[in-house]
């Protein structure tokens, strides 16, 4: 057997790891994980990961509340508009009635009885009571 | 209810005074307590514009109204209806008339109907040919009405209200003349 073969055999010979080698490897890996978790970026990213559900829930809540408020405002605006419209129609009706009185007198054809009966039965007038 | 109405009138009155420059006498507002029916309309430009947006394009009355109010600044109406005559005095109306004096205001029509006991007066403010404000004071024994319109308005628009808004149309002079002509 040559000297080379002896050297090769010695090199390939099974050698037991030193005592506690595996523990030290695992401990170092754990230490690296811990260092990584302590980094700002990781914490920042993790924060979103942890709170993602809460953010989503908050966003949904904001959208729901904003929609509700928007609908309520629109509803109020519509009610205000409809009320204003009724007021305009009533004002113009009264103005028209009085203008017609003047017009009738000017034209010498006074017949306000028709006006009176119509006014007394008109729904707008009744609503004001 | 009447107390609430009076309170509302009292709160709104300063707004009317500032916007309209026509002071409604306190006595007139007190008539609310005696009236069996009170109509109170206070519409400033914002409310008129809001109302215009809600006019039904398919309703001819509302389209006519929209056209009339398009450029108006305010519309105020007070109408008091009483169950018996003599609930208001001439002095109540005189306070309003006193504010509608020349040169700012012109009384273009004054109607006194002995048959119907209905008096009506129309006052205008004008700028050239354009009427810029119009006030109607109408009084009969059982009703007192005050209408104030601020903004450009055409008499034709008001005449055009006849036949609309449940108001009977009035046959004007030209028609009466044509009838007379036909009778001859």
Task: Encode pLDDT of A66-77 as tens digits.
Answer: 999 999 999 998
Residues in A closer than 8 angstroms to B122, CB to CB, are 99, 102
Tell whether A112 is within 8 A of chain B (Cβ).
Answer: yes
Q: Given this model, what pLDDT does residue B167 score? A: 52
Q: Given this model, what pLDDT does residue A43 score? A: 75
Confidence band, pLDDT 50/70/90 cuts, at residue A116: very low
Percent of chain A with pLDDT over 70: 81
Tell whether A80 is within 8 A of chain B (Cβ).
Answer: yes
Other beta carbons within 10 angstroms of residue B109's beta carbon come to 16
Q: Given this model, what pLDDT does residue A13 score? A: 85
Q: What are phi and psi of B143, to 5 degrees?
A: -150, 140
Domain boundaries along the sequence of chain B? 2-168
The single-letter DSSP state of residue B33 is: G
* Nearest chain A CA: its distance from B174 CA (Å): 9
Binary contact (B69, A115; C-beta < 8 A): no
Classify residue B80 as exposed, middle or buried by CB count within 10 Å of its CB (0-12, 13-18, 19+). buried
* Strands, E assignment, chain B: 37-44, 74-81, 106-113, 118-127, 130-140, 143-150
Q: Given this model, what pLDDT does residue B165 score? A: 53
Confidence band, pLDDT 50/70/90 cuts, at residue A33: confident
Which of A13-17, B12-16, B38-42, B44-48 bottoms out in mean pLDDT, i.e. has the lowest? B12-16
Alpha helices in B21-162, H assignment, sequence order: 26-30, 45-53, 60-69, 90-99, 155-159
Residue A119 pLDDT > 50: no
Confidence band, pLDDT 50/70/90 cuts, at residue B183: very low
Q: Given this model, what pLDDT does residue A27 score? A: 92
Q: Given this model, what pLDDT does residue B172 score? A: 42
Residues in A closer than 8 angstroms to B50, CB to CB, are 77, 80-81, 84
CA distance B20 to B22: 5
ipTM of the complex: 0.73
* Nearest chain A CA: its distance from B82 CA (Å): 13
Strand order across the beta sheet in which B130-140 lies: B37-44, B74-81, B143-150, B130-140, B118-127, B106-113
A92, A108, A109, best to mutate vs chain B, most B CBs in 10 Å: A92
* Nearest chain B CA: its distance from A48 CA (Å): 46
Higher pLDDT residue, B137 or B25? B137
Q: Given this model, what pLDDT does residue A67 score? A: 93
A89 contacts B61 by C-beta, under 8 angstroms: yes
Higher pLDDT residue, A73 or B17? A73
Q: Given this model, what pLDDT does residue B16 score? A: 46
Give the count of Cβ contacts less than 8 A between chain A and B. Answer: 133
Task: Write out pLDDT tens, residues A88-97.
Answer: 999 988 888 8
pTM listed for this prediction: 0.62
Among chain A residues, CA nearest to B76 = A91
How are beta strands B74-81 and B130-140 bridged, if at all? unpaired
Other beta carbons within 10 angstroms of residue B6's beta carbon come to 15
């Amino acid at each position: 057997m040559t000297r080379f073969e002896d050297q090769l055999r010695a090199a390939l010979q099974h050698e037991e790891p030193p005592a506690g080698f595996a523990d030290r490897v695992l401990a170092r890996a754990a230490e690296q994980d811990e260092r990584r978790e302590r980094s700002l970026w990781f914490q920042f990213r993790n924060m979103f990961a942890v709170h993602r559900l809460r953010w989503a829930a908050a966003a949904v809540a904001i959208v729901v509340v904003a929609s509700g408020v928007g609908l309520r405002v629109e509803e109020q605006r519509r009610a205000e508009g409809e009320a204003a419209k009724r007021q305009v129609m009533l004002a113009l009706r009264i103005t028209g009635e009085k203008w017609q009185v003047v017009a009738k007198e000017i034209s010498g054809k006074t017949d306000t009885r028709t006006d009176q009966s119509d006014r007394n039965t008109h729904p707008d007038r009744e609503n004001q009571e | 209810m009447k107390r609430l109405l009076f309170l509302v009138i009292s709160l709104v009155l300063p707004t009317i005074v500032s916007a309209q420059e026509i002071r409604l006498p306190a006595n007139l507002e007190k008539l609310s307590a005696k009236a069996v029916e009170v109509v109170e309309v206070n519409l400033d430009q914002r409310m008129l514009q809001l109302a215009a947006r809600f006019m039904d394009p398919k309703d001819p009355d509302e389209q006519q109204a929209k056209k009339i109010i398009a450029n108006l600044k305010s519309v105020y109406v007070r109408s008091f209806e009483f169950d018996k005559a003599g609930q208001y005095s001439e002095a109540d109306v005189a306070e309003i008339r006193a504010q509608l004096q020349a040169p700012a205001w012109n009384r273009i029509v004054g109607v006194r109907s002995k048959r119907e006991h209905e008096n009506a007066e129309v006052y205008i403010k004008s700028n050239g040919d354009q009427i810029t404000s119009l006030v109607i004071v109408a009084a009969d024994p059982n009703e007192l009405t005050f209408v104030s319109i601020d903004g450009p308005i055409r008499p034709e628009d008001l005449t055009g209200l006849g036949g609309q808004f449940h108001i009977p149309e009035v046959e004007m002079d030209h028609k009466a003349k044509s009838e007379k002509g036909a009778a001859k």
